[in-house]
Structure 1
Amino acid sequence: MPTVRFRGETVECDRGDTLRDVLLAAGLTPHNGGADTLNCHGFGSCGTCAVRVDGAVSDPTRRERLRLRVPPHDPESGLRLACQTTVEGDVTVEKFPGFWGQHVGADEDDGSSDD
C-alpha cells in the first residue's frame, strides 16, 4: 500500500488514488489560505493545488500541462496539480507559499500568504 508524506504526516492510500483526495481524506489540504474554499474542487482548472511531488505518480494529464502553462505558474517549476495526479507508489509532497503554491524555492508557510 503506497504512502504519502506531507507536512510531517504519513498517510496510506490505494494505488491509483488521486493525490488531492488522499490529502483531503486525511484532514490535510493541498491548498493555501483562501484557496481552501476558492478552488475548482478537483477539475484541474484553477491551479491552486499545485505541489511538488517526489515519488511514483502518474504522468501529467493534458489538462494539467495546460493549466501549469498559465501564470502565475511556470511549466518549468516542476509542480504538479494534486487533483490530476494519481499515486502509484510512495510519494513525498511539498507545498510552497502563495495562493496557488507558486513560490517555488520559498520556505513552506502556513498558507496565510494570498499573493
Structure 2
Amino acid sequence: MPKITAQGKTIDCESGANLRQVLLDNGIDLYNGASAVINCHGLGTCGTCAVAISGTVSEMEWREKARLSVFPHSVDRGRRLACQVQVLDDIQVTKFDEFWGQGDRKIWTAQG
C-alpha cells in the first residue's frame, strides 16, 4: 500500500488512487486562496492543484501536458496536477505559492 507524505501527514492509499482525492479526503490544503472555490474539481483544466512530487506516480497524459504547457505554468518546472496523478508507490508532495501553485516559495512540504 503506497504512502503519501504531505503537509506533515502520512496517508496510506490504494495503488492507483487519485492524488487530489486522497489529499482532500485527508484534510490537506491543496488549493491556495480563492482557488479552493474557483477550480475545475478534478477535470485537469484549471491547473490550481499543481504540486511537486517525489516518488513514483503515473505518467503525464495529454490533458495534464496541455494545461501545464500554458501560462502561468511550464512543463519544465516539474510540477504535476494532483487531479491527474495516480499514486503508484510512496511519494512526498510539496505545494508552492501563488494562485495556481506556480510560485517559487513553498507553502508546505511533505514534512509540514
Please report the TM-score for the alignment, with normalisation by the length of structure 2. Answer: 0.93
* 1:58-113: CA deviation from partner (whole Å, max 9, x where unpaired): 0001100000000000110000000000000000000000000001xx33237xxx
> 1:32 maps to which residue?
32
* Contact preservation (8 Å) 1:20, 1:29: no
- Opposite residue 4 of structure 1, the aligned amino acid is I
For residue 105 of structure 2, what is the amino acid of its counterpart? D
Of residues 105, 108, 111, the one that matches 1:107 is 105
Normalised to the residue count of structure 1, the TM-score between the two structures is 0.90
Alpha-carbon RMSD across the aligned residues, in angstroms, is 1.0
For 2:54, the equivalent position in structure 1 comes to 54
List alignment gaps of at least 5 residues for structure 1.
111-115
Output the CA distance in 2 between the equivalents of 1:83 and 1:29: 14
Identity among equivalent positions (%) equals: 46
Higher relative CO (Cα under 8 Å, sequence separation at least 6) belongs to 2
Distance 1:45 1:24 in 2: 18
After the TM superposition, which segments of 4 or more aligned residues of structure 1 sit over 3 Å from their partners?
none
**Which structure's residues are more often strand, by fraction?**
2
Matched pairs, number = 108
